[in-house]
Amino acid sequence: MTRGPDKIHIRDLVVSCIVGTRPAERVRRRKVVVNLVLLCDLSRAGKTDNLRHTVDYAAVCQRVTAVVRSSRFQLMERLAQAVADTCLAFDGVSGVQVTLDKPGAVRGARSVAVDIQR
């Protein structure tokens, strides 16, 4: 059996930011829900029980929160790319899936989401 990459999932990280193209979206922060799948090799950490041998997901959340919070992007796609770039800057992260939900973006829909893989 071929082994696929190990994954760290970060689910439902809620951050407020400025994102959108409409004038009203440019002045008021709104909630964005961030979901991440970090591709990495967790085998060494699984054997050693040592934080230095894995990806520190608390640090990832802290940096991603800072990036999103300071966002002034118009497009969710651009924000998703910035989040992906932030995650890929961590040692040990070989790939990432970023899903950003913008609750209430469209009337009648719970949210609109952008999903990218890098």
Give catalytic residue positions.
102
- Cα gap 34→87, rounded to integer Å: 12
CB-count burial class (<10 Å; 0-12, 13-18, 19+) for 94: exposed
Task: Name the token pair of 110.
Answer: 């719970």
